Structure 1
Amino acid sequence: MALPALGLDPWSLLGLFLFQLLLLLLPPTTAEASGQGPVPRVRYYAGDGRRVLSLFQQKDLQDFDILLLSDDGNTLYVGAREAILALNIQEPGIPRLRNRIPWPASEKKKNECAFKRKSNETQCYNFIRVLVSFNTTHLYACGTFAFSPACTFIELKDSNLMPILEEHVIDGKGQSPFNPVHKHTAILVDGMLYSGTMNNFLGSEPILIRTLGHPVLKTDTFLSWLQPDASFVAAIPSTQFVYFFFEETASEFDFFEKLHTSRVARVCKNDVGGEKLLQKKWTTFLKAQLLCAQPGQLPFNIIRHAVLWPDSSSKVPHVFAVFTSQWQIGGTKSSAVCAFSLMDIERVFEGKYKELNKETSHWTTYMGSETNPRPGSCSVGPSSDKALTFMKDHFLMDEQVVGTPLLVKSDVEYTKIVVETAQDLEGRSHLVMYLGTTTGSLHKAVVSQGNSARLVEEIQLFPAPEPVRNLQLAPAQGAVFAGFSGGVQRVPRANCSVYESCVDCVLARDPHCAWDMESRTCRLLSTPFLSSWKQDIEQGDPRWACANGPVGRSHQPQSRPQIIKEVLAVPNSILELPCPHPSALASYHWSHGAAAVPEASSSVYNGSLLLLLRDGVGGLYQCWATERRFSYPVVSYWVDSQDQPLALDPELAGIPRERMEAPLTRAGGGVALAAQRSYWPHFLTVTVLLALVLSGALIFLLASPLGALRARGKVQGCGNLPPGEKAPLSKEKPHKPPKTSASDVDADNNHLGTEVV
């Protein structure tokens, strides 16, 4: 039977029907959620060959938590569980083990730890928590030591670690936490160790302490300078002060219950404690609130980590910190990176104080007079008793330190941050941030003009999700080292070779990468800069950066492909033409020559083009990417029929071609589609399924009237009627039912066996 109205023969019509049926069976393509902040342009999953990582691990070791880079940048010292390692990172690739020294907790301490109801499988070990360079010949290390903190000096010989002598191990209370899960911070400044940790077994007594020098100073527990749940994340020195960054429950907001807040505390380096008051205590301790929030939004009130960025191009150093929120917006966690100027921090500490009204238990702004020198300042000489009495109660600043949000992203929790400065070809400095997440990913972010950050790439470091415990930047090696439970990952800070074209290299806007016009490769930027290299970090415009000569800034796409993939298909078959997505920031569409793809015989599913091959649908198919108002072909296919090959387009002459002999297959959403399929198996399958459905429906329709007739022939209430009480078959008036007795009535006053239908 011919179908002249449609112009299709029966087989083509059947093919079109099955193609539309296949499209209905495919799950819908879900669009990416919006409003989640910057999207990484490129994502690399664990084991991706395009992003080669180098993993160092030891089968008998775990919990590689503490990382320390040597002064010459060639050795990485690692604090693991019950061991300290020295790794040679001078050569690229997997770090080589120089040597390792064991430092286990003693059996006596382990037994005491287990007796105190701690786990001897996960807790009663020596977890290294402090590892700093004391001088050129010694390191200083501290560990939990089975809930009995201990510290020791470690001698160095040619960057190798010398064994730890038991008689050199000292008490580490106040320098290392008891519990390995408690957060802590420590920094060595002018030969003295400044630590922030928990000072007791229960983890309810936070302390800021200065050791390895005289006098030893610490915070006063009874004055409530720190809340019992204070959690320290970083310590940063400056010219006169040492700043501690931590998070605790706020006490000044009485209209909230257990409101977490982020703090920065300050102590003077030259603090010597009081003579009569505050003996062996800080006399310059002050703290202020850190505020990281977008206008009109809830603040990110939990600080996770902070680092100092001494930018050479700026006279004012900045602190960059990562935050999360105690509130979940839309059921997901979110994170932010905020920048704080040290000048703003110092200005807040020079401002007004808060004081606690002991009658109302409310914090208010202190409006009284101040003594000279100002309480909390780094004045020379001992402070007066009046000033120390004032400091005991006026340790909280009235004003907040407001930060500038650089990056806000939902559905992610950042744990660690390291920063560096990268210069582009024009000599401009760019801030590059490396951010570790709770799921084991590393984000590389670049801050552009206007203090807005973009994510260049996301790298999944570990096969199974787990937090990134530490990050260490090694600028001389051009790498970032990430510590986690199973080892240390070496991550090259740039992956320029993955950008195979000038367009992709320029659109990446990675300050570490530039396109070399001579070698036609995307190369890692190094000094001295070559004139043949091209970059556009701010605009990312390939129109001029990738042109051999002067070109105008037009928005016309460049349509000539670099290579064409030839596909020979069977008529009336289904093809799947994949489209690789080199950038998550681009939008993608398909074209058929100079026109759009035919809608009647094609569909786009998860970026791939599903094509029903029939007369007139062959030719050139291209997948286009549009990014930053620039369009370029990602992949080009020349589709031919095995029965009637098309004539070669003269405009495509000279372009290299690659024959696709194997069928193109791809799995998406649980559905695997072959590039070339016969319709006959589909036809038989659909026919059998249709017959089964129709048979089931017919049986159901026939069974329903029969069931109704049977139900109407039954007695209401009881089942079968007794003999002799059947309904008459004629039209005569039925016999009058006999009179019932009391025994014929049930508990609900219903007649039994007397009514007949």
Structure 2
Amino acid sequence: MPGAALRLLCGVLLPAAVLRAEPLPRVAFAAGDPRRPLARFSLPNVSDYDALLLRGDEDELYVGARDRLLALAVGGPGPPLATASLPWAPTAEKASECAFKKKSQETECFNFIRVLVALNRTHLYVCGTYAFSPACAYVDLENFTLVASGRGQPFLDGKGQCPFDPQHTHTALLVDGELYAGTMNNFQGNEPIISRSLGGRPALKTDAFLRWLAADAAFVASFSAPGDDKVYFFFEETADEFDFFERLLVPRVARVCKGDVGGEKVLQKKWTTFLKAQLVCAQPGRFPFNVIQHAFALPRRAGRADFYAVFTAQWQAGGSAVCAYSQESVEQVFEGKYKELNKESSRWTVYGGPDMSPRPGSCSVGPSSDKALTFLKDHFLMDGKVLPGRGEPLLVRAGVKYTRIAVDEPRGLAGTAYRVLFLGTADGFLDKAVELPGAPHVVERIQLFPAPEPVKNLLLAPGKGLLYVGYSGGVLQIPLANCSGYRSCAECLLARDPYCAWDGHNRSCRPARLAGAHASGWLQDVETGQPAAACHRGRSGAAPRARGGPDGAAVETLSPPLHAVVRLPCPRRSALAAYAWQQPGEPPGAAAALLPDHTLLVLMRRGAAGAYRCQATENGYTWTVAHYLLREPAGAEEAPGRPAAGHHRSYWPQFVTVTVLLAVTLAAAACVAFGAYHEQLKARRKVRGCGAAPPPGRPEKEPLRAEAPPPPAAAPPARCLQLRDADADDGAERLPA
């Protein structure tokens, strides 16, 4: 195995000190939990709500589904409402051709909308698989109808812009009126392409003959930062530069320049600025996460961006990682050394020749630089690797497969910008995590669907404070924050949610954006999550108490009868907290039992009354999450057998006495019956033993010698004779005359 492939696989098999502990979601919500409300939208007989596009004012959401395009009114307090619906199914002829090509009429021969972009304020541009014959069309937003193209045709050829197969991944981006797409360019699904179309300039694409892309390249995302002159594509493909014993996938980032117009003599109608490099997302001492699932670009100032991507491992099931890359680190690799294929050894090596000016692949290369273009035809792969910002994954989760990512950047009370990651999984969960200097903090996990199914798309509406989730059965509208779910100052600060802060005036956890410029009386601590000093100081300025504090739960008074079993639940407000019960009397009495979910079972008897508190300790702070007051049972101080007036009498002692007596009686009866049955069996064995002698004329055993006569048979006992005679007499009496 070559050393390069070994290093890629093992991700540096060094004795890594101690791997960072996996962060757990602080709170989790099951599907349909009223504490985390979700608004759902769906239509009968419509499925695969995969493509999402939000209008600039975030008041209208366009959804591309199977055979249909929808317009939804969103952003209001209620669920999304359909305002327009545009059917767009393939013709019967196209569906028949699709079936003739051995494709399924139940699952594949439909028009799955894959490209959905806004050309301007009045028109959309959409493309669909159209029964394995990709087609595109313009949509007039005024009447929400398909309009004819400039050539008078209702549909345009979508080859190179949209995949044939709905299962193939793809990406499309509209920049300055031009569509940049990464998709499969043929029916067989073995010709990937990065193309540019629409607009007034000549269309460009990658060169399939030069194998700039492996036949199995799968695109997941594309970006262009505002003010930047480049477009980036994220994808995965089989690595040709590694001589490995099996198919080795490698995540990539490719770059093309917006000003590229193709070559005049060399690379005509082809990209003259195409370059690609390898992405690395690995932990020391572990297999790398080499399968990219999705990527997201968070714009920064001056035309820069940070890229976030989610990965899984090719050889390890059930694990995901999130890695973040700066645009500067990507550009640094594209400005580095090239790789080239040695035709004699068929191995990829580092190019060691002289530098060229202008640099091949740079955005300054013009159409007349034939020398640079000829060089680029064989030197499109960079030698350097793009490493994550921290040198390792930002977040690693075992047993989880992330499929989508979206990143928001809200500002806290002090004006600090925090990055919040929204991660969709393959089994229908949504994780919300905050990127912090030390380690990420997973605020919550939400189960989106009752039955497991993958999250197909995530779209942020930060101005409205909403997140939209596309899946096979519809669209979900989810508030970015759940501040009202935190009942106390301590819980509000321990959540470490940048969207939430404690309003000391209204004594409630509310969205931090409501504080405005004047945030006096508001509390927030995203970095450390220390509520002790902040919450007490915000209350009265007093020093914090070691137990309880201002965040104690409301007291619930119970009056159970004597000998009753009382169930005292302890709500798990946080998975990161440790829970313990305080009971009357130390140590706790033997009349209490603790269940695995921290529920306390108390048997009410004399002396069991008093205060029971379930306390949680998280991040060094202890507070009460449940407080119960059990009153002395009625009749506990009365004489035995005399119930107190006005209270129900307890029949527990009588019940126990009767039960014990009944059990003893049944046991004695069983013993007597068993003894009688045993004696009967013994008598039967004795009677059967009398008839054991062989019948007359048949000796029991032949003599060994003929001259020795057999011994005479022993006479049976007198009792046996009497029994046999009696039997014979009985039989004689029954004979007919």
Question: TM-score range, shorter-chain basis?
Answer: 0.7 to 0.9
Question: Residue 5 of structure 2 aligns with which residue?
Answer: none
**1:128 CA displacement:** 0.3
Match of 2:504 among 517, 542, 548: 517
Task: Specify whether residues 561 and 90 from structure 1 end up closer, same or farther in structure 2 by C-alpha distance, changes over 3 A only.
Answer: closer
Bigger drift between 479-488 and 632-641 goes to 632-641
The within-5 A match list for 1:286-301 is 286-301=275-290
What is the root-mean-square deviation of aligned Cα atoms in Å?
3.3
| Aligned mate of 2:135, from 143, 146, 150 | 150
The one-letter code sitting in structure 2 at the alignment partner of 1:195 is A
Task: Indicate whether 1:449 and 2:437 are aligned.
Answer: yes
In the alignment, which of 571, 583, 588 is matched to residue 562 of structure 2? 571
| Partner residue, 1:93 | 78
CA gap of 1:557–1:280, structure 2 versus 1, over 3 A, is same
Moved more, 598-607 or 433-442: 598-607
Where does residue 397 of structure 2 map in the other structure? Answer: 409
Tell me, yes or no, if the aligned pair for 1:149 and 1:177 is still in contact at 8 Å: yes
Equivalences for residues 551-700 of structure 1 within 5 A? 551-552=542-543, 555-558=546-549, 561-593=552-584, 595-599=586-590, 601-644=592-635, 680=656
The answer to whether the 8 A contact 1:322-1:414 is kept is yes
Deviation at 1:224, TM superposition (A): 1.3
Change (3 A) 1:175 1:211: same
Matched, 1:129 2:114: yes
Shift of 1:355: 1.1
Q: Secondary structure at the match of 1:114?
A: helix
> 2:289 & 2:39 partners in 1: Cα distance?
34
Contact 2:126–2:139 (CA<8 Å) still a contact in 1? yes
User: Would the aligned equivalents of 1:36 and 1:411 in 2 still touch at CA under 8 Å?
Assistant: no
Q: Secondary structure at the match of 2:273?
A: coil
Change (3 A) 1:125 1:281: same
Structure 1 residues 674-700: Cα deviation after superposition (integer angstroms, max 9, x where no partner): xx9997599679969x979x99xx99x
Instruction: Note closer, same or farther for the CA distance 1:691–1:78 as it changes in structure 2 (3 Å cut).
Output: farther
Higher Rg: 2
Q: 1:322 aligns with which of 292, 310, 319?
A: 310
Which residue pairs with 1:479 in the alignment? Answer: 466
Matches within 5 A, 1:60-459: 60-157=45-142, 161-165=144-148, 167-213=153-199, 214-238=201-225, 239-311=228-300, 316-328=304-316, 332-403=317-388, 404=390, 405-450=393-438, 452-459=439-446
Distance 1:682 1:56, change over 3 A: farther
Distance 2:654 2:24 in 1: 41
Contact between 1:423 and 1:511, CA under 8 Å: does it hold in 2? yes
- Alpha carbons of structure 1 residues 680 and 171: separation in structure 2 relative to 1, 3 Å: farther
Q: Which secondary structure does the structure 2 equivalent of 1:382 belong to?
A: coil
What is the CA distance between 1:725 and its match in structure 2?
Answer: 7.7
1:388 aligns to what SS in structure 2?
A: helix
Counterpart of 1:322, as a letter, is V
Contact 1:36 1:409 in 2 (8 A): no
1:11-22 correspondence to structure 2 within 5 Å = none
Q: Could you tell me how far 1:615 is from its partner in structure 2? A: 2.7
Give the Cα–Cα distance (whole angstroms) in 2 for the partners of residues 604 and 522 of structure 1. Answer: 31
Partner Cα separation in structure 2 for residue 421 and residue 216 of structure 1: 36
- Secondary structure in 1 aligned to 2:139? strand
Question: Which secondary structure state, in structure 1, belongs to the residue aligned with residue 168 of structure 2?
Answer: coil
Question: For the structure 1 residues 510 and 249, does the alpha-carbon distance in structure 2 shift closer, same or farther, using more than 3 Å as the test?
Answer: same
Is residue 573–residue 679 contact of structure 1 (8 Å, CA) maintained in 2?
no
2:591–2:602 CA contact under 8 A, matched in 1:
no
Q: Distance in 1 between matches of 2:461 and 2:661?
A: 61
Q: Contact (CA 8 Å) 1:573, 1:678: kept in 2 or not?
A: no
Structure 2 Cα separation of the partners of residues 131 and 291 of structure 1: 31
Instruction: Describe the shift of the 1:559–1:210 C-alpha distance in structure 2 as closer, same or farther (beyond 3 A).
Output: closer
Q: Secondary structure at the match of 2:322?
A: strand
**Which residue identity is paired with 1:196?**
G
Q: Distance in 2 between matches of 1:298 and 1:424?
A: 37
Once the two structures are superposed, the pairs formed by residues 452-467 of structure 1 within 5 Å of their partners are 452-467=439-454
Distance (whole Å) between structure 1 residues aligned to residue 394 and residue 696 of structure 2: 92
SS in 2 for 1:374: coil
SS, match of residue 69 in structure 2 = strand
Aligned partners of 2:180 and 2:495: how far apart in 1? 41
1:572/1:679 contact within 8 Å kept: no
- Going from structure 1 to structure 2, the CA distance change for 1:382 and 1:601 (only over 3 Å counts) comes to closer
Q: TM-score under structure 2 normalisation?
A: 0.82
Give the TM-score, by structure 1 length: 0.80
- 2:631 partner SS: strand
Query: Which residue number corresponds to residue 711 of structure 2?
Result: none
1:597: Cα distance to partner?
A: 2.5
Is 1:493 paired with 2:476?
Answer: no
Per-residue deviation, 1:65: 0.4
Alpha-carbon separation, structure 2, partners of 1:148 and 1:681: 83
Partner amino acid for 1:178?
F
AA aligned opposite 2:100: F
Quote the offset at 1:179 in angstroms: 0.4
Which amino acid is the alignment partner of residue 446 of structure 2?
A: I
Give the secondary structure class of the aligned counterpart of 1:387.
helix
Tell me the distance in 2 between the aligned counterparts of 1:594 and 1:465: 47
User: In structure 2, what is the Cα distance between the partners aligned to 1:98 and 1:507?
Assistant: 41
Partner residue of 2:526 out of 525, 533, 537: 537
Q: Given residue 302 of structure 1, which amino acid in structure 2 is its aligned partner?
A: V
Within 1, Cα distance between the matches of 2:661 and 2:215? 69
Shift of 1:599: 4.7
Structure 2 Cα separation of the partners of residues 682 and 230 of structure 1: 78
Q: Is the 8 A contact 1:625 1:631 kept in 2?
A: yes
C-alpha contact (below 8 Å) 2:75/2:466 kept by paired residues: no
In 1, Cα distance between the equivalents of 2:381 and 2:49?
A: 37
CA contact (8 A) 1:559 1:633 kept: no
How far apart are 1:264 and its partner, in Å? 0.2
CA offsets 1:260-313 (integer angstroms, 9 cap, x no match): 11000011111111222211111111110000112222111111111111245x
CA 1:443–1:138 in 2, change beyond 3 Å: closer, same or farther?
Answer: same
- The offset of 1:632, in angstroms, is 0.8
The answer to whether the 8 A contact 2:146-2:154 is kept is: no
CA distance in 1, matches of 2:456, 2:588: 49
Q: What displacement does 1:73 show?
A: 1.7
Query: Matched residues, percent identical?
Result: 50
> 2:373 aligns to what SS in structure 1?
helix
Distance 1:146 1:275, change over 3 A: same
Q: Distance in 1 between the 2:445 and 2:657 partners?
A: 43
> Conserved in 1, the CA contact under 8 Å of 2:66 and 2:113?
yes
Once residues 155 and 212 of structure 1 are traced to their aligned partners in structure 2, the CA distance between those partners, rounded to angstroms, is 17
1:395-450, Cα deviation, whole Å (9 max, x unpaired): 11101101142111111111111111111111111001111111111111111123
